[in-house]
Amino acid sequence: MVFRRSHRKSRHGCSNCKRRRVKHHINLQAQCDEGRPTCANCDQRHDACIYTAPGPYTFAEDTERPPRRSRSQRPSEPESAGSDISSVQNHLDIVTSTGSSTSPSLDMKQLELVLQWIKHTHRLFARNEETRKVWEMPVLQEALQAPFLMHGILAISALHLSEISHLNADDSYSEWVNTAIAHKNTALSMFSEQLPNISQANVKPMMSFAGLAVVFSFATTQNLGPSQREGPSLDALIDIFTLSRGVQQVVNAEKDFLFASNFGPLFDIKAPDTQIPTEFQNAFERLEELNLDYYRRSPGHDMVPYQRAITFMQQLAPFAFAEPNSLTLAAGWAIRAPGDLMDDLRNSHPLALVLLAHYCVFLHLARDNWCVGSWGSIVLHEISQILAPEWDAHIEWALEQV
């Protein structure tokens, strides 16, 4: 069956080099070397080097897709859920102390970001009250011993404040954006150093930061100004899927330990008692029939990963209707999407694009979440332009919903 393929391009250069079209006009100046945290071009020009693409998250590079396995040991006793805010207050010097031990100084901006996390930003990651409590304090407490996670928390909180500033049309938008990107870049370099050595001692902050990175990628592409981002696109969404699958790889390193710890509620995926609308249930059934029909017409087609992806989306759908602005389906499906499906998406396989079009409907349902915004409608439109006309009928329902 003939289908068109979209153009692929590197997305890992810094924003300054991309803006100067360095990658496309090598005769103008040296190509971006993608150095972290500052590329050679920006270092020479004394510019602030800004990376917005998820390419530097090396833990997400799953082209070989090693088999999932757990090499953990279950601890004898689960950890206490402790949410004593005094422990945070006693250790805030990790992110605020810049002076000597006898004359400490306070970074009020960072204190403001910690407060923003406690009051508001942590809620982005919650799907119910139990998970909200984990993200509110235990994750923050882990950050007191893991500076890369603290920088990640400060980064996403700063990006949240930049969105509030944008809505209020005040002058602090650019300042918060620059703060967010600076903390993210610092966090990445520190996080990457620990990737080869995931253990029970660091898996909770490593997993937490991996989750932050996924949401940061959605939000950054959606909310940065035109000079700093390329905007939502199919390529960008596939990059985020690759990043999301990296979260699962981190979790698998010490799965049993995490499940028995105070982070356990994060892995207890119990769907809310919410009915899926009939038209959505019918859409899932049509996807299953299309997958089976494609298998009959194309014997080389492996229908198993597609069926798994459809089932995962169906299982997560009640969360989208219980709380439309929740990121549970958007992030949860991306984390669980089979690797074979990701390969087909990179190659613009039509059946994979039809399945992704249905995922875009759920992104559109969450459009009032500032991290998601127009992702669903933009990517769905791009899919409609890529698919050959014979596939139009299979995304008609998705286009009607969006």
Q: How many CB atoms lie within 10 A of CB 10?
A: 13
Whether residue 262 sits in one domain with residue 219: yes
pLDDT band at 269 (very low <50, low <70, confident <90, very high): confident
C-beta separation of 346 from 239 below 8 A = no
pLDDT band at 4 (very low <50, low <70, confident <90, very high): very low
Local structure of 311: helix, strand or coil: helix
Q: How far apart are CA 402 and CA 399, in angstroms?
A: 5
**191 burial class (0-12, 13-18, 19+ CB within 10 angstroms)?**
buried
Whether residue 190 sits in one domain with residue 140: yes
Is 296 among the domain residues? yes
DSSP 97-122: --S-SSS----HHHHHHHHHHHHTGG
The structure tokens 């206490």 sit at: 80
DSSP 205-234: HHHHHHHHHHHHHHHHHHHS-TTT---S-H
DSSP class of 58: G
C-beta separation of 114 from 62 below 8 A = no
Q: Which two tokens stand for residue 56?
A: 């530097």
Q: Which two tokens stand for residue 288?
A: 């299953």
pLDDT band at 12 (very low <50, low <70, confident <90, very high): low
C-beta separation of 318 from 364 below 8 A = no
C-beta separation of 248 from 198 below 8 A = no
Whether residue 102 sits in one domain with residue 226: yes
Q: Give the domain extent around 138.
A: 80-267
Return the pLDDT at 94. 46
HSE-CB at 227 with a 13 A cutoff on CA atoms is: 6
pLDDT (average), residues 190-199:
89
Q: How far apart are the first and last CA of the chain?
A: 27
Return the pLDDT at 77. 39
Considering 267, 293, 316, which residue would you say is the last residue of a domain? 267
Considering 248, 267, 286, which residue would you say is the last residue of a domain? 267
Is 392 among the domain residues? yes
| Residue, of 83 and 209, whose pLDDT is higher | 209
pLDDT (average), residues 140-148:
96
Is 273 among the domain residues? no
pLDDT band at 76 (very low <50, low <70, confident <90, very high): very low
Whether residue 303 sits in one domain with residue 205: no
pLDDT tens figures, 93-123: 444 444 445 667 888 999 999 999 999 999 9
- pLDDT for residue 401 is more than 50: yes
- pLDDT for residue 177 is more than 80: yes
pLDDT band at 362 (very low <50, low <70, confident <90, very high): very high
Whether residue 105 sits in one domain with residue 223: yes
Whether residue 284 sits in one domain with residue 257: no
pTM here is 0.75
pLDDT (average), residues 28-47:
73
pLDDT (average), residues 284-313:
94
Whether residue 288 sits in one domain with residue 253: no
Whether residue 147 sits in one domain with residue 107: yes
Q: How far apart are CA 360 and CA 14, in angstroms?
A: 27
The packing angle between helices 234-253 and 375-386, to 10°, is 110
Whether residue 165 sits in one domain with residue 146: yes
- pLDDT for residue 183 is more than 90: yes
Return the pLDDT at 146. 96
Whether residue 91 sits in one domain with residue 142: yes
Cβ neighbours of residue 390 under 8 Å, at least 6 residues apart? 1
- pLDDT for residue 274 is more than 60: yes
Report cis status (omega within 30 of 0) of the bond before 37: yes
Length of the chain: 402
Q: How far apart are CA 81 and CA 261, in angstroms?
A: 8
pLDDT tens figures, 318-337: 999 998 888 999 999 998 88
Whether residue 174 sits in one domain with residue 231: yes
Is 253 among the domain residues? yes
DSSP class of 71: -
Task: Determine which helix (DSSP H) or strand (DSSP E) holds 141, and give its type and residue range.
Answer: helix 138-143
% of the chain residues with pLDDT over 90: 54
Q: Classify the phi-psi angles of 164: left when phi > 0, otherwise alpha if psi is within -120 to 50, otherwise beta.
A: alpha
Return the pLDDT at 244. 87
Weakest-pLDDT range from 39-43, 156-160, 315-319, 397-401: 39-43
C-beta separation of 212 from 168 below 8 A = no
DSSP 377-401: HHHHHHHHHHS-GGGGGGSHHHHHH
Closest CA to 218 of 30, 385, 378, 29: 378
Whether residue 320 sits in one domain with residue 259: no
Is 73 among the domain residues? no
Considering 267, 295, 329, which residue would you say is the last residue of a domain? 267
Is 240 among the domain residues? yes
- pLDDT for residue 74 is more than 50: no
Closest CA to 306 of 242, 352, 257: 352
Q: How far apart are CA 363 and CA 241, in angstroms?
A: 13
Closest CA to 53 of 149, 181, 154: 181
Is 62 among the domain residues? no
The total of structural domains in the chain comes to: 3
Task: Determine which helix (DSSP H) or strand (DSSP E) holds 291, and give its type and residue range.
Answer: helix 278-297
Is 69 among the domain residues? no
**Letter for the amino acid at 27?**
N
